[in-house]
Amino acid sequence: MKFYDCTTAPSPRRVRIFLAEKGIAVETQQIDLRSGEQFSDAFRAINPDCTVPVLTLDDGTVLSEVLAICQFLEEMHPEPPVMGRDSRERALVIMWNVKIEQQGLAAVAEVVRNQSKGFKSRALTGPQEFEQLPQLAERGMIRLELFFDRMDNQLSVNKYVAGDAFTLADITAFVALEFAAWLKVEIGENRKDLGRWFEEVRRRPALSK
């Protein structure tokens, strides 16, 4: 297996944390997104969507979405379970993971990619150019505050995002919160349950990856 990573980007970070939680070592190659290496012919041949993370398998299969990569690793290395211990938990982990991707990570990306000079003409990932739409950045900031409120609410009834065990849903939420810090969106004093959870999970060694 080979893992295509970029240490400065949030999506591959989720896989790095997942690998560390499981104690899996894998050959890794850095793709320098800042210099545009994702658009090189060599990387395009691996992932025509020009995104990381990617995990290539020994039979040549290419996995290019965080959820697919983690699902595969979970089945290959079931211990410790990071995607739920039974059918009910597994479904909840996927459910929360998808919600956090759509409501949290996508909201931060909407802001960053539609307002930063560095993403001019690259408002969406991939080889096709898209111009920035400043209104999407404004909308993303509103969505982000709502996302923080929803997570605070969820963590007022659960120890971890998807229940009483640490899972991929926590990894995705943690990365989304740290990504949001780029925009100075913070947990604040009022979101006490989100704050309690964040202080606890950030102590896990894997989360420094």
Ligand X SMILES: N[C@@H](CCC(=O)N[C@@H](CS)C(=O)NCC(=O)O)C(=O)O
Residue ranges in contact with ligand X by CB under 6 A: 9-11, 33, 38, 50-53, 65-66, 125
Backbone φ and ψ of 27, nearest 5°: -60, 135
Q: Assign 27 to helix, strand or coil.
A: strand
CB of 208 to ligand X, least distance (A): 18
> Judged by CB, which is closer to ligand X: 17, or 66?
66
> Judged by CB, which is closer to ligand X: 65, or 138?
65
CB of 186 to ligand X, least distance (A): 21
Sign of torsion over alpha carbons 171, 66, 183, 108: negative
As given in the structure block, the two tokens for residue 182 are: 């780029």
> Judged by CB, which is closer to ligand X: 167, or 191?
167
CB of 38 to ligand X, least distance (A): 5
> Judged by CB, which is closer to ligand X: 18, or 160?
18
CB of 14 to ligand X, least distance (A): 8
> Judged by CB, which is closer to ligand X: 109, or 201?
109
Distance from C-alpha of 6 to C-alpha of 30, rounded to nearest angstrom: 5
CB of 198 to ligand X, least distance (A): 20
Distance from C-alpha of 198 to C-alpha of 102, rounded to nearest angstrom: 20
Closest CA to 145 of 182, 106, 186: 186
As given in the structure block, the two tokens for residue 98 are: 């998808």
As given in the structure block, the two tokens for residue 91 are: 């479904």
Whether residue 138 contacts residue 62, with contact meaning beta carbons closer than 8 Å, is answered with no
Q: Assign 56 to helix, strand or coil.
A: strand
Distance from C-alpha of 141 to C-alpha of 122, rounded to nearest angstrom: 19
> Judged by CB, which is closer to ligand X: 96, or 152?
96
CB of 207 to ligand X, least distance (A): 17
Q: Assign 54 to helix, strand or coil.
A: strand
